[in-house]
Structure 1
Amino acid sequence: MISSLFLCLTIGTLRASAGPLVGRAAPTVTMDGAIFTGKTSGTNTKFLGIPFAQPPVGDLRYRLPVPITYNNGTMFDATTFGPTCSQQAIKLPPAIIDGLPADAADFLINSLFAQVFPDAEDCLTVNVVTPAGSKPTDKLPVVVWIFGGGFEIGASSLYDGGLIVDRSQALSQPVIYVSMNYRLTGFGFLGGKEVKSAGVGNLGLQDQRQALRWIQKYISQFGGDPTKVTIWGESAGAISASLHMLANGGNTEGLFRGAFMESGAPIPVGDITNGQKYYDALVKDTECSNAADTLQCLRTAPYATLKAAIGNSPGLLDYQSLNLAWLPRPDGVFLTDNPQKLVAAGKVAAIPYVTGNCDDEGTLFSLANVNVTTDAQFKTYIQDTFLPGITDAQTAQIATLYPSDVTQGSPFDTGFLNALTPQFKRLAALQGDIFFHAPRRWLLQYTTSTQNVWVFLSKRFKPLPIFGSVHTSDILNVYAGGEMRDHLIRFANNLNPNPLTGYQWPQYTLATRNIATYSDGLVPVVTGNDTYRTEAIDYLNQVTLANPE
């Protein structure tokens, strides 16, 4: 979920690109008579920071994205990324910043990130990367990247689509890469009854949907085929992709034909009014409490005031961890019901898709709970904070299925190692399963008989202390190079990730449950079985279906 932060701090190669070719004329694309000038680097051409909707500022704040048209004769410099959308303030847990002054931690995470990736409210832009020299007649498949970040942080500018496009050409299966910014945190995922009544919930998802409509209208100008679009994301981006499969009763509106989802599936969430306490806090902190129309007051609140108020809300690495303040919820418009129920009712787009997880999804988020050290505290945390409202019996059963035995915790298969606290590996196992592995299993249960599906498990980086095969590590297997990148490119071209020769990734069925397992070592991919922790994961799905937060 905090892929953007993790990658920013650990690797600097995702935006690496070759130097510009000397002597080549600057590439241009014309849309609505406006001319957009990009840049060519090596074997790819980039058009960056193109607005795909009207700026969501002023009276357009907390409203659905408004389509954009370009003025005939306008010249647009598309050689640099646009600003990121407003970010949630990150508050690091004690397990990370122990001994580090608070102001130093704030500078390293918030101030430094903001300097490298400046944010703004006017942020709805797309980036298009094509093979150099692409023409409108080429009709190339399109991969659409939706970044992760817990619906709170992230930026399309973190990722170099040229790495995908260059590799696609090396495979002789060229693709066009598109990424977009979308509204985040309290700007994009505000909850409450006022939001539901106004029909403006899930604005971040609505932004993504508008970007997909922009692609349908304009991608042919870049050499893309609007009928061959694959949506692709990681973490919050993968969850977003899965929710696009549920929108409109599963009707894709012709916006995409396949999905590639890393560490994300339709999450169990309750009605958008469950976010009322966070809405009320914003109203109070922006001095809108006495307004006749509090939502309209939030639209007119000073940007800095509203952003600061949102920053006061719980974040990804706060104590409540993956019980998020800002996330997609059923709003009666984009999502008509709990995603689990929509999946069970068959209201899912019947398209081919790839989905999978990292083995140790929960370790990163359990750093926020290191003060939970006893069995009693584990049960209290589950019932009062992480899954508020569940019964004593449900709490007891979860504690049984996720025992305190550190050899059964996450990082899995590491024995007595990585036990940061007596409850750390236990919490990591639970949090990873409930938010990542269990939703994926639920989706597979109801869709594998109606569409072609491939499933993976990434066990790479298992020796990484404390974290193991940590959430977000699978991104390295795409952007930094690896088999997953080739699988993505082939899937975008053929709706099948397999090559003509070499490892053959079997389709997933409920009878076989075969999965591709990415591993370190001489044999990078082997076929495994998706049967781990079956009883525990099935029970978690029952609990969350009955108690959506």
Structure 2
Amino acid sequence: MLVLEASLAAATPTPVVKRASPTVQLDDATVTGVAGLTTNSWLGIPFAQPPVGSLRFQLPQSLTSYNASFSATAYGPACPQQAISIPLPSVLPADAVTAIDNLTNWLYGVVTPSSEDCLTINVVAPADATPDSNLPVIAWIFGGGFELGSPSTYPGSVIVDKAIELDVPAIYVSMNYRVTAFGFLASKEVQDAGVGNLGLQDQRLALKWIQQYISNFGGDPTKVTIWGESAGAISVALQMLTNGGNTEGLFRAGFMQSGSPIPVGDITLGQQYYDFLVDQTGCASSDDTLECLRGVEYETLMDAINQTPNIFSYQSLILAWLPRVDGVFLTDDPQQLVLQGSVADVPFITGDCDDEGTLFSLSGLNITDDSDLYTWLKTYWLPNATESQIDAGMALYSTDPADGSPFNTSDLYALTPEFKRIAAFQGDSVFQGPRRFFLEHQSSKQSTWSFLSKRFKWVPVLGSFHGSDILNVYLGGDMADYLVRFAANLDPNGDTGIEWPQYTTDSPNMLTFLDGLIPLEITQDTYRAAAMEGITNLTLEYPI
């Protein structure tokens, strides 16, 4: 993730101040931005009241209006970020692992400074855009496992320049939202207070900000495409499912990279992590533990959060902090909402990388046989499933490393007898299976397209790993062509690349991105059919 961020940050064009600094009028305020060579940027604009003090763990509150002029020339801080633990070989001494983790998180904090006062939005527009331009809008929602991430590491000017190059000029918007416990606190207390899924509520408020103000920058509020990767793509899917599928006019299309409606359960499934924070922060004796948490010193609260599992912990994709069914934003398991028809009637694109699970399976290298795997699944993934159900789930994935992920690499990279099997299971359970489930239920009702990225297969151990397709967009690759055309025309096709046919159940077409001399081809979404159907049925019965 750090390598990806460094690559993207290095791609960010240095502003070329040859023109006067651009300004935009927001209510009574004149907002000054940054002039680039071909774009104008306004960065770090507050779109909500700071979620601090009594507003911590509260629904985001909109601003009444902008009354005083200000400069918007630098990204705002990221929302508080959870510390991560890097999956490292067990032969390393424990103190060495701790030192590496500490250094990694310190470096990340330097690159991505954070603060509770973080609800800001960024706009990048063509330099010649005016309030009368009525350009389509691409609204980016970053990923990071709902634990970390920031819009500052993604160069929006690349997207705008690509749109200009293809003669479909567009405006790029990126938003901050609360992550980890600040955005996804979950418990009975949270449910009773009606303050679940705050990160998703932040995104929704940012989309409402776009409706109110984007025309001032030259955007058309009726032509918004929401786009995200990983947790950001899952967020796009959940924005499509909330409110009975009613978009409230906030967007007209969705573009999802490595994320679909995932099978999550009730908000009380997060009770153990809420109780841990309460215990660690001295709030256990309070009559109102949620109100007590609002008053805990920031450093004390962050220390407690950093002791909870992260995305690279042993339980991996069974995240401590993620969207859950709260009865407000999500009234049911997202996949049940799909079955109920609670889906926005808008065109969408969704796709995955071939080896989604490899990156998240490095933390389980001590799982070396069927018994270990059964215990891991029973403990974290399927605690309420029967023994026969878990055995059936395991049987869906071959013990032969040649069948595992990274796929099509024979016996290579079998770090343990179970590594490639676990990687296949995790990739299908959280990414590939939910994507196929979504498409199978929606492709007959709305225009849908799907893709598979098999690029970077040469990367040892990881193959076409989770997140690698982002480089194909933010470095100006061919996926960016399809993205900007889709935002402009609700159809990704144009005069470059190859024709990308829609996905249907009769012909489940996938645009497949490849390494080598033939970079694109159309394939069929029929691989691992029995495994994906079986694991989807299991997670429908036992959501995570």
Q: Give the TM-score category using the shorter length.
A: over 0.9
**Counterpart AA for 2:247:** T
Q: 2:333 aligns with which of 338, 359, 382?
A: 338
CA distance in 2, matches of 1:201, 1:94: 34
CA distance in 2, matches of 1:501, 1:260: 19
Offset at residue 291 of structure 1 (A): 0.7
The answer as to whether partners of 1:322 and 1:386 remain within 8 angstroms in 2 is no
More divergent stretch after superposition (105-114 vs 475-484): 105-114
The answer as to whether partners of 1:147 and 1:237 remain within 8 angstroms in 2 is yes
CA distance in 2, matches of 1:71, 1:514: 47
List alignment gaps of at least 5 residues for structure 2. none
**Counterpart AA for 2:463:** G
CA distance in 2, matches of 1:111, 1:439: 35
Question: Could you say if the C-alpha distance between residues 87 and 404 of structure 1 is closer, same or farther in structure 2, counting changes exceeding 3 Å?
Answer: same
**Counterpart AA for 2:434:** P
Offset at residue 107 of structure 1 (A): 3.5
2:511 aligned counterpart, secondary structure:
strand
Q: 2:85 aligns with which of 91, 101, 110?
A: 91
Q: 2:186 aligns with which of 191, 201, 204?
A: 191
**Counterpart AA for 1:125:** T
CA distance in 2, matches of 1:8, 1:540: 32
Alpha-carbon displacement from aligned partner over 1:182-219 (angstroms, at most 9, x marks no partner):
00000000000000000000000000000000000000
CA distance in 2, matches of 1:221, 1:97: 57
The answer as to whether partners of 2:137 and 2:225 remain within 8 angstroms in 1 is yes
Off by >4 Å, runs of 4+ in structure 1: 12-15
CA distance in 2, matches of 1:346, 1:530: 23
**Counterpart AA for 1:33:** D
Offset at residue 404 of structure 1 (A): 1.2
Tell me, yes or no, if structure 1 residue 266 matches structure 2 residue 261. Answer: yes
The answer as to whether partners of 2:8 and 2:471 remain within 8 angstroms in 1 is no
The answer as to whether partners of 2:8 and 2:155 remain within 8 angstroms in 1 is no
Residue matched to 1:216: 211
**Counterpart AA for 1:8:** E
CA distance in 1, matches of 2:270, 2:227: 27
The answer as to whether partners of 1:14 and 1:159 remain within 8 angstroms in 2 is no
Offset at residue 442 of structure 1 (A): 1.1
**Counterpart AA for 2:193:** A
Residue matched to 1:468: 463
The answer as to whether partners of 1:6 and 1:472 remain within 8 angstroms in 2 is no
Question: Could you say if the C-alpha distance between residues 236 and 97 of structure 1 is closer, same or farther in structure 2, counting changes exceeding 3 Å?
Answer: farther
Structure 2 counterparts to residues 15-414 of structure 1, below 5 A: 15-22=11-18, 24-72=19-67, 74-95=68-89, 98=92, 101-414=96-409
**Counterpart AA for 2:5:** C
CA distance in 2, matches of 1:227, 1:308: 43
CA distance in 1, matches of 2:424, 2:178: 30
The answer as to whether partners of 2:382 and 2:390 remain within 8 angstroms in 1 is no
**Counterpart AA for 1:307:** M
Tell me, yes or no, if structure 1 residue 7 matches structure 2 residue 4. Answer: yes
Offset at residue 102 of structure 1 (A): 3.4
The answer as to whether partners of 2:135 and 2:220 remain within 8 angstroms in 1 is yes
2:214 aligned counterpart, secondary structure:
helix
CA distance in 2, matches of 1:30, 1:203: 29
Offset at residue 536 of structure 1 (A): 0.5
Question: Could you say if the C-alpha distance between residues 144 and 97 of structure 1 is closer, same or farther in structure 2, counting changes exceeding 3 Å?
Answer: farther
CA distance in 1, matches of 2:510, 2:107: 40
1:95 aligned counterpart, secondary structure:
coil
Offset at residue 385 of structure 1 (A): 2.2
Offset at residue 12 of structure 1 (A): 4.8
CA distance in 2, matches of 1:387, 1:499: 45
Query: CA-atom RMSD, angstroms?
Result: 1.3
CA distance in 1, matches of 2:320, 2:11: 30
CA distance in 1, matches of 2:184, 2:337: 20
Offset at residue 423 of structure 1 (A): 0.7
Question: Could you say if the C-alpha distance between residues 140 and 353 of structure 1 is closer, same or farther in structure 2, counting changes exceeding 3 Å?
Answer: same
**Counterpart AA for 1:407:** A
Alpha-carbon displacement from aligned partner over 1:411-452 (angstroms, at most 9, x marks no partner):
000001111111100000000000001111111121111100
Identity rate of aligned residues, in percent? 56
**Counterpart AA for 1:7:** L
List alignment gaps of at least 5 residues for structure 1. none
Offset at residue 115 of structure 1 (A): 1.0
CA distance in 2, matches of 1:501, 1:374: 48
CA distance in 1, matches of 2:14, 2:310: 37
CA distance in 2, matches of 1:16, 1:267: 32
Offset at residue 372 of structure 1 (A): 0.5
Residue matched to 2:520: 525
**Counterpart AA for 2:13:** S
CA distance in 2, matches of 1:190, 1:471: 25
Alpha-carbon displacement from aligned partner over 1:510-541 (angstroms, at most 9, x marks no partner):
00111100001122110000000000000111
The answer as to whether partners of 1:13 and 1:480 remain within 8 angstroms in 2 is no
Question: Could you say if the C-alpha distance between residues 285 and 13 of structure 1 is closer, same or farther in structure 2, counting changes exceeding 3 Å?
Answer: closer
Q: TM-score, normalised by structure 1?
A: 0.97
The answer as to whether partners of 1:96 and 1:367 remain within 8 angstroms in 2 is no
**Counterpart AA for 1:16:** T
**Counterpart AA for 1:93:** P
Question: Could you say if the C-alpha distance between residues 481 and 98 of structure 1 is closer, same or farther in structure 2, counting changes exceeding 3 Å?
Answer: farther
Question: Could you say if the C-alpha distance between residues 501 and 51 of structure 1 is closer, same or farther in structure 2, counting changes exceeding 3 Å?
Answer: closer
Offset at residue 379 of structure 1 (A): 1.5
Q: TM-score, normalised by structure 2?
A: 0.98
CA distance in 2, matches of 1:91, 1:473: 20
The answer as to whether partners of 1:143 and 1:175 remain within 8 angstroms in 2 is yes
Offset at residue 266 of structure 1 (A): 0.5
CA distance in 2, matches of 1:445, 1:14: 39
1:220 aligned counterpart, secondary structure:
helix
**Counterpart AA for 1:98:** L
